[in-house]
Chains A and B, each alone.
Chain A
Amino acid sequence: MGLRTPLHDEHLALSARMVDFGGWDMPVQYSSVLDEHHAVRRAQGMFDVSHMTLLELTGPDAAAYLRHLLANDVTKLKVPGKALYSVMLNERGGIIDDLIVYAPVPEQPELWRVIVNCGTHDKDLAWMQRQAASFRVSLRERTDLAMLAVQGPQARATVAALLPDAAGRIGELAVFQGFDAGGDWFIARTGYTGEDGLELMLPGAEAPAFWRRLLAAGVLPCGLGARDTLRLEAGMPLYGNDMNDDTSPLVSNLGWTIAWDHDFIGKDALLAEREAGAKQRLVGLVLEGKGVLRAHMRVVVEGAGEGETTSGTFSPTLEKAVAFARVPVGDQTEALVDIRGKLLPARIVKPVFARSGKALI
């Protein structure tokens, strides 16, 4: 038996298909991955993401600690509750994890929220504690909180209608920003789908009732299957697939997240890699014909060499197979993918396929 979120009984009541995900019992689908995917692109869906690790950082050195720890720079966060996406690197410039950090809000002016992945929980915490030793900062894990993602063009209006006291703030909330809604509720306009929507952190004990209210309001429950197709279409990398401890952000299409003008762990290795020129790039692939792309397929780029897909799926929006692939650098626009021994043509594109309900390819 794996770890259970506060919404476990809700998933069972909906006859969700449960799978092990990083040690957690999580729903992979309730009805149909395609229906769940389209609900988020066209209307609204909700995901239990309580398996994610929620950390709170406090102490006079919290900001300095985060600057040292992260390749992106928290001093960019000028607005309370603003969110920042960053990678956390090892000394070799390899990615330990990717995460979201939220700047403090006026109600808790010294509290930084950090959301890291569930599969990396143990090594992240060990690394973060080790680095914290030379800073006046303390880390606290909030296992008592649940986390819900309500995503899709109708999501914000639906949540606002259910939370009249927070409706005004939800209505005017800027993208990538959160606020304290009281009673240990934190509501942010963030997500992992390429659609508008919210992520809510709330007391685990209150999560089942709120889940049922969302259900009654017509929000479709969505599992990890749709979460993966949505994030892949939206061009969002997945830790463990598209990046890991041995890949740098420069070969993971994450160069844009590096704030070069501050010092951070792994910077020297990145500078050396940049100086020498990155050897690989992470690209998008769209299969020309029929079939499905999966992770770990061999990719042949004529004139450049060979690489490999890191994530792949059937894109419900494009109705074509799409993938991320790490290939040797070059300006080629075509590749061949080895699917069960056949080399099939694919187009090399920017690794973002669909967002805001629209195909981008």
Chain B
Amino acid sequence: MSNTPAELKYAASHEWARLEGDIVTVGITDHAQDALGDLVYVELPTVGDQVAAGDEAGVVESVKAASDIYAPVSGEIVEVNEALVDAPEIVNSDAYGAGWLYKIKVSDAGELDKLLSADEYAAQAH
């Protein structure tokens, strides 16, 4: 069974979002990393990029497949997880912790309310 922490918000496209102040940290879910398998490459957005909720922002690739990452909320990319460039496998081993992808300074924290709860996400990701 994949792990879905209750304190996070989720997008149907398998990203998670954690709000702290006006910064949202974004990653991919445990279900997503498990479905992709061994990650071998992560392409991150550029710090300073403006993204709108639902925009393609980043790509994760496993041996088998490439998967686009969609920004779960709108705002400015303020930090990316550089450690993943040389060690993408961190996403497999710690999807909700050290395997975070990037941080967005949100323009409207209310957008998080449109995301799924842990229960809602777990129900649709099965």
Contacts and interface: CB of A to CB of B under 8 A. Distances in A.
Interface of A: 28-29, 32-34, 37, 225, 229, 290-292, 294, 313-314, 316, 321, 340
Contacts of A229: 63
Interface string B23-66: 00000000000000110110100000000000000010111101
Contacts of A313: 63
What does DSSP make chain A's interface, helix, strand, loop or mixed?
Answer: mixed
Given A32-B38, A34-B38, A290-B41, A225 B64 contact: yes
18 contacts: A29-B37, A29-B64, A32-B37, A33-B38, A33-B62, A33-B64, A34-B38, A37-B63, A225-B37, A225-B64, A229-B63, A291-B61, A292-B61, A292-B66, A313-B63, A314-B61, A314-B63, A316-B63
A225 B40 CA distance: 14
Nearest to A340: B59
Nearest to B85: A290
A313 B61 CA distance: 10
A219 to B, nearest CB: 20
B40 A292 contact: yes
A193 B40 CA distance: 21
Nearest to A314: B40
Contacts of A32: 37-38
Contacts of B63: 33-34, 37, 225, 229, 313-314, 316
B48 to A, nearest CB: 19
Interface of B: 37-38, 40-41, 43, 59, 61-64, 66, 85
Given A314-B61, A340-B59, A294 B37 contact: no
Nearest to B56: A340
Contacts of B41: 290-292, 314, 321
Contacts of A294: 66
Contacts of A29: 37, 64
A39 to B, nearest CB: 13
B65 to A, nearest CB: 9
A292 B63 CA distance: 8
A47 to B, nearest CB: 16
A18 to B, nearest CB: 13
Contacts of A37: 63
Nearest to B40: A314
Given A33-B38, A225-B37, A292-B40, A28 B59 contact: no
A33 B85 CA distance: 20
Contact of A33 (B37, B43, B66): B37
Contacts of A321: 41
A19 to B, nearest CB: 10
A123 to B, nearest CB: 27
A313 B37 CA distance: 14
A54 to B, nearest CB: 28
B117 to A, nearest CB: 28
